[in-house]
Amino acid sequence: MAENGENTTSTQYSDYSMPSSPDYEDYPILCSKDQNRKFRSWFIPTFFTIICLLGLAGNLMVILTVFYFKRLKTMTDVYLLNLSFADLLFCLSLPFWAANSMVEWVLGLVVCKAMHTVYKVSFYSSMFFLSFISIDRYFAIAKAVSAHRHRSEAVFFSKVSSAAIWAMALIFSIPEMLYPNTNNKTCTPYSSSTDHLRISIQASQIALAFVLPLVVMTFCYISIIQTLRQARNFERNKAIRVILAVVAVFLISQVPYNVVLFWTTVVTARGRDADCSYENNLMFATDITQCVAFLRCCLNPLVYAFIGVKFRNDLLKFLKDFGCMSQERFYRYTCGRRRSSGVNDTETSMASGSCH
């Protein structure tokens, strides 16, 4: 972080493409940013460390379990695996962001650009995979007859679409490859003279990586809930609770930050605000809501993988096979909780095998 970071004329708000420190250099001297700088120096490293550790543990367990059991038999399995890779990639970038918020950037421009690119690729791909998981569940439940008819082609389509998602995420991340700089020994995504560029990139990001997934997930999960409410089986209420948990996690983690990001974009487009206290508060709001948004990478394994009975039992068997769980405890957690088969494999069905 720049040592003379108290004087700036332009506000460099953090956005989803820059969890790094704002460039405070051009603020008028009367607008002190000491409190923001001190807050970021402990808040961001603390939360990024927690998110990184939890995210690495959860997503690694998903990846190892999928490969150990060779479980790529449905579209959701493929999308969950790719989602875990995207979130794992994001977690690996967090130590660099934490260091950038505390000390001067000494790793050079190439690493700076790589850090921004890795983050944005993982961010876009994660949001797109969440959307495709909701679409897959929509067809599996609300359009069950049609989905069963095309079941043989489903896994192949999921692999092709996953490759397309990664390609799109890479294309949308091209600005992160071109514009980051290391002015004033801080790795930032744009120079102070590119407000128009920041506005266009942030606006397109909000539209593509928040509004679009939100619309897709809302339509799919509302349709699924309407279908489930007409069902009469034992697992209906449980499946609805799973869906509500998925939607709640997305809304709680993503809405606050995107609202703040939208408002900072508006402020930038209007020529910024002269009120120093207002700018300080907006920066505090950006930092806090940003950390909440980043929790998605460690919550995704819980709401999309481990909450499903089949996947959870696979994880327990994986731990048992590697000596992390006793045979007695494994049977207590699996056989003792046997339920009837649910609405779909990902959410409610049991792992294969019998209990004796």
Tens digit of each residue's pLDDT (9 = 90 or more) over 130-178: 999 999 999 888 888 777 777 778 889 999 999 999 999 999 999 888 8
**pLDDT attached to residue 11:** 41
Flag whether pLDDT at 342 surpasses 60: no
User: What's the mean pLDDT in 192-198?
Assistant: 70
Query: Which positions ≥6 away from 133 have C-beta within 8 Å?
Result: 76, 79, 80, 83, 304
Q: What is the pLDDT of residue 101?
A: 82
- Residue 327: count other Cβ atoms within 10 Å of its Cβ: 8
Tens-place pLDDT, residues 218-245: 999 999 998 888 876 656 677 788 888 8
Does residue 275 form part of some domain?
yes
Output the domain CATH number for residue 295. 1.20.1070.10
3-state secondary structure of 346: coil
CA distance 128 to 108: 31
DSSP state for residue 303 in the 8-state scheme:
I
- HSE-CB at 234 with a 13 A cutoff on CA atoms is 7
Residue type, 38: K
Whether 116 maps to a domain, the answer reads yes
Question: Is residue 101 assigned to a domain?
Answer: yes
| Range name among 67-71, 100-104, 191-195 with the lowest pLDDT average | 191-195
Residue 1 within any structural domain of the chain = no
3-class DSSP assignment, residue 15: strand
Domain assignment of residue 142, yes or no: yes
235: tokens are 């697992």
pLDDT band at 125 (very low <50, low <70, confident <90, very high): very high
| Residue 345 forms part of a structural domain | no
Is residue 319 situated within a structural domain? no
Domain contains 40: yes
pTM: 0.82
Q: What's the total number of domains in the chain? A: 1
Backbone angles phi, psi at 18, to 5 degrees: -145, 85
Pull the structure tokens for residue 179: 């514009």
Q: Which domain holds residue 183?
A: 34-307
More confident position, 270 or 93: 93
Q: How confident is the model at residue 262 (pLDDT cuts 50, 70, 90)?
A: very high
Rounded Cα distance between 58 and 61, Å, is: 5
- Could you give the percent of the chain with pLDDT greater than 90? 35
Chain centroid to CA 201: 19
Average of per-residue pLDDT values in the chain: 80
CA R_g for the chain: 22
CB neighbours of 303 closer than 8 A, spacing ≥ 6?
A: 242, 245, 246, 249
- Check: CB of residue 128 under 8 Å from CB of residue 79: no
